[in-house]
Copies of this chain bind each other. A is one copy, B any other.
Amino acid sequence: MSQRRITRRGALGAAATGAGAAALPASAAARGRKHRRRSLSADVVVVGAGLAGLTTARVLRARGHSVYVLEARNRVGGRTWTKKVRGVPVDFGGQWIGPGQTRLAALAKAVGVPTFKTYNTGLNVYQRLGTLKTYSGAIPPASPAAIGDIATALAKLDQMAGEVPLATPWTAPRAREWDGQTLETWKLANMTTDEGRLLLDLGIEAVFAGEPRDVSLLHVLFYIHSAGSFENLINTEGGAQESRFVGGSQTVSKRVAAKLGHRVLLDTPVRRIVQGRRGVTVESDRAVVHARYCVVTAPPALAARIQYDPILPAARDQLTQRMPMGSVLKVHALYDRPFWRDDGRTGQATSDTGPVKVTYDNSPPNGNTGVLIGFIEGEEARRWGPRPLAQRRAAVIAQFAKWFGPAAGHPRAYVEQNWMEEEWSRGCYGAWAPPGVLLDYGAALRKPVGRIHWAGTETATQWCGYMDGAVRSGERVAAEVGRLL
């Protein structure tokens, strides 16, 4: 039963749940919902069965506490989601693991999910002003002035990042100055070449799925520090894109969920959390869970859509109005073989024009199918997302053909995931802070509100925004709640 529950039920994805309900007259839907509602109780009820929520439950269970995990989607894994396309597991969401991401590594090891290196042999492609160049290694063949410009900028950012305390970024000595400006402002004041600025833009877009104008400089510095360095964030070899999971990243969540069994409830969106003196009641469409504590793992913008009774204090509520989700579509083209490897290409491209500006070879470990992935991020996602699939597909495939040859123009399959349209994420990769938010609201990010504790990768101090951060946040909150039980 529990195994069946945690299996994907079709290709329509999470949004299908809500859409299905629309077919019923409202009153019937309400009645149906009501009749199905089970009453459950546990020490802790966890909202969200992504890596943060599953880790929370796993740790609490190991300490002997009872838990339920309520998940809105019809699957576990949150922003990781592996779907088979023509028999090949394709990661529609978060997928990589790199050095220093030790808590994710430990979890994957514990549940027996091995990793393999991201394909990174050969030459990369760099497109700028309509011209293609190839190069090896991590540094694109930009002009020497631009290389110097970006190198200086990254060194400055890394150095400043080191001055931002991870648990309390708002206490950095220059926090007011840094949280008063966008990264765009800092870039214009500190970089001198168009091409150097382009390279920074590409890095920011790839990391945040947003533009330098969207994010606070202080938030970017915190994020860099949280990962160790800017290069850790953007590199393949030695960086956050170094390795992948055999069978897809969602496998980790599936394995953890399988062990939790009936304690993970799918298709169970939480609508309301009621706190009383002796406990907390979490109401979903399918179940009502009474518990001593509640852990909410949804990112701030989605946690805001739960009804709280009593209402949340101003600091927490206004925080949730101020940390938007990024903007990204992930696109995948499948080929019979990773033919670019024969041409001595890595499958990695970087481009100054969209829709796709970054690609990777995402073929399975045995390389018996070729998979190219591309990211449509930030402004490109906002512009291209609303357009018809056929138009977007044509534009993406034309880019792939330009970068990897005519064979790339004829994929066997093209599939994409628009995370902005996914009801229970409403954006990826994660949430960021615009200017002023960390300074005045940062302290509300992890501060419990009565019996409600907060987790999710957005609350992590190390590898914030990454799968590893999600695992760390789950471990942190499990310890936090565990001390109270």
Contact = CB atoms under 8 A, between A and B. Distances in A.
Contacts of A458: none
B315 A325 contact: no
Interface residues of A, number: 65
A214 B301 CA distance: 18
A426 interface: yes
A281 B26 contact: yes
Interface string A1-28: 0000000000000010011011001110
Given A181-B181, A283-B30, A304-B304, A314 B18 contact: no
A375 to B, nearest CB: 16
Contacts of A274: 22, 26
A184 interface: yes
Which of A182, A188, A310, A317 is packed against the most chain B CB atoms within 10 Å?
Answer: A182
A429 to B, nearest CB: 14
Contacts of A39: 27
B26 A272 contact: yes
A310 B22 contact: yes
Residues of A contacting B: mostly: mixed
A131 to B, nearest CB: 24
Contacts of A434: 214, 322, 434-436
A423 B275 CA distance: 16
Interface in A282-330: 283, 288, 301, 304-305, 307, 309-311, 313-315, 317-318, 321-325, 327
Interface stretch (A227-235, A379-387, A402-410): A379-387
A468 B116 CA distance: 61
A179 B313 CA distance: 31
A354 interface: no
Contacts of A128: none
B214 A314 contact: no
B301 A180 contact: no
A434 B436 CA distance: 9
Contacts of A19: 309-310
A440 B379 contact: yes
A436 to B, nearest CB: 4
Contacts of A26: 272, 274, 281, 283, 288
A321 B426 contact: yes
A213 interface: yes
24 contacts: A15-B310, A18-B310, A19-B309, A21-B309, A22-B275, A22-B310, A27-B39, A30-B283, A185-B185, A211-B440, A213-B435, A213-B436, A214-B436, A304-B304, A314-B382, A314-B386, A314-B418, A315-B385, A317-B426, A318-B324, A321-B323, A321-B325, A382-B440, A434-B434
Interface of A: 15, 18-19, 21-22, 25-27, 30, 34, 37, 39, 179-182, 184-185, 188, 210-214, 272, 274-276, 281, 283, 288, 301, 304-305, 307, 309-311, 313-315, 317-318, 321-325, 327, 379, 382, 385-386, 418, 420-421, 423, 426-427, 434-436, 439-441
